[in-house]
């Protein structure tokens, strides 16, 4: 494994705590070391390995840009112009490769025109990397600058999931149901469950397959269970649509798990409204499942559940023997706030 180097993350900004938690869960799941350098509004600087940086770029749902840092300086045009001249762009771009420069400002009132700065940085890159060319629509490489809290961060962006994740929204899938979880949150929950790229993930209330899709796309072996034969059939359609083949699906009751062992569990249990509990009390359903899941997870394994706030899910899990790792709240609408709770089996 390579040595540590600085990276910075530009979060998408939908939630105050999930993006950072997701990033560190990814690094934890794959055992990549990380040290926080600085925290900013909707951004974070860390030291991690090149492998860790790439994992963040390709796995994190709430990361808009993940960049290997090329320089950090004061958010002033003169400082930026000086710092960019020290970067060997000829070592970053091959002859004939294309690039673009994007700059964003987050709570940054200085720096002037973003468009002008992008053009100035682009000119410096062209001067440094002979034979490179600009392509604003489909470049081989994106260089990203972030002005935040008086600092300017500039780096080489790795390809990520953030810009493409909307292509997997439930309404575009072959099988749709209004209870389906949005892909960004589903990806985040899979990551919070510390799913490893080569590990196995179980969803005992799989519904239309939202969580299984995201787990499969990061390379996990997946298995889904649902009491509804219609949902299981629909989940299979959706998984095949996204090219996910290494997945098992079965009609069954989460209170009587027909499975033996999985590395991680991530699920969005039913609690009424658009989802059905088939006559069972939602809290009792989850309680029995959590008890059953103790026999499925290995020691140190993680389980991530979404459930309405006020049901004391964390307390329930701890009474059964789990350790609560973290809790995040998401307000869905006026009458519903959900908790995303992550447990670890001791």
pTM of the model: 0.94
C-alpha to C-alpha distance for 101 and 89, rounded to whole angstroms: 13
pLDDT > 70: percent of the chain? 96
Q: What is the pLDDT of residue 133?
A: 95
| Cα–Cα distance, 267 to 192 (Å, whole number) | 11
Domains and CATH numbers, the chain: 5-158 (3.30.2130.30), 167-344 (3.40.50.150)
SS3 assignment for 11-30: ECCCCCCHHHHHHHHHHHHC
pLDDT over threshold 60, residue 163: no
Distance of alpha carbon 128 from the chain centroid: 34
**Residue 130's pLDDT band (cuts 50, 70, 90):** confident
Cβ atoms of residues 144 and 65 within 8 Å: yes
pLDDT tens per residue across span 33-73: 999 999 999 999 999 999 999 999 999 999 999 999 999 99
Average pLDDT over residues 313-341: 94
What's the whole-number average pLDDT of the chain?
93
Contact 82, 28 (CB under 8 A): no
- Measure the N-to-C terminal CA separation of the chain; round to a whole number of Å: 28
The answer to whether residues 143 and 121 touch, using CB atoms and an 8 Å cutoff, is yes
Dump pLDDT digits (tens) for 69-108.
999 999 999 999 999 999 999 999 998 999 999 999 998 8
Residue 327: pLDDT band by 50, 70, 90 thresholds? very high
Mean pLDDT value of segment 196-215: 97
Helix count and strand count (H, E) for the chain: 9, 15
Q: Are 250 and 225 in contact (CB under 8 A)?
A: yes
On the 0-12 / 13-18 / 19+ scale of CB atoms within 10 A, 190 is buried
Beta bridge partners of 104: 146
Residue 137 tokens, joined = 């629509």
């Amino acid at each position: 494994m390579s040595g540590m180097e600085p990276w910075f993350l530009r979060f998408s900004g939908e939630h105050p705590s999930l993006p950072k938690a997701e990033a560190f869960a990814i690094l934890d799941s794959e055992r990549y070391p990380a040290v926080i350098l600085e925290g900013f509004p909707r951004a974070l600087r860390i030291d991690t390995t090149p492998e860790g940086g790439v994992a963040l770029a390709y796995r994190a749902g709430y990361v808009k840009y993940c960049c290997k840092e090329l320089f950090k300086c004061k958010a002033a045009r003169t400082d930026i112009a000086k710092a960019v001249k020290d970067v060997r762009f000829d070592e970053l771009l091959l002859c004939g490769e294309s690039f673009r420069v994007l700059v964003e400002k987050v709570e940054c009132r200085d720096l002037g025109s973003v468009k002008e700065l992008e053009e100035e940085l682009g000119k410096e890159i062209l001067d440094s990397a002979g034979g490179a060319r600009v392509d604003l629509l489909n470049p081989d490489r994106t260089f990203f600058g972030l002005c935040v809290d008086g600092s300017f961060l500039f780096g080489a962006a790795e390809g990520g999931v953030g810009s493409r994740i909307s292509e997997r929204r439930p309404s575009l899938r072959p099988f749709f149901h209004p209870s389906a979880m949005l892909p960004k949150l589903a990806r985040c929950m899979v990551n919070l469950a510390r799913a490893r790229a080569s590990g196995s993930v179980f969803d005992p209330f799989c519904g239309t397959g939202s969580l299984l899709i995201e787990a499969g796309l990061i390379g996990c072996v997946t298995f889904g269970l649902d009491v509804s034969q219609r949902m299981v059939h629909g989940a299979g359609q959706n998984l095949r649509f996204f090219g996910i083949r290494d997945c098992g699906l079965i009609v069954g009751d989460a209170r009587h798990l027909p499975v033996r062992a999985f590395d991680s569990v991530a699920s969005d249990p039913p609690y009424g409204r658009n989802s059905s509990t088939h006559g069972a009390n939602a809290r009792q359903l989850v309680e029995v499942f959590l008890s059953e899941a103790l026999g499925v997870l290995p020691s140190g394994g993680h389980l991530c559940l979404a459930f309405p706030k006020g049901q004391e899910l964390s307390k329930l899990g701890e009474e059964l023997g789990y350790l609560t790792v973290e809790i995040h709240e998401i307000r869905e609408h006026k009458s519903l706030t959900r908790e995303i709770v992550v447990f670890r089996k001791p």
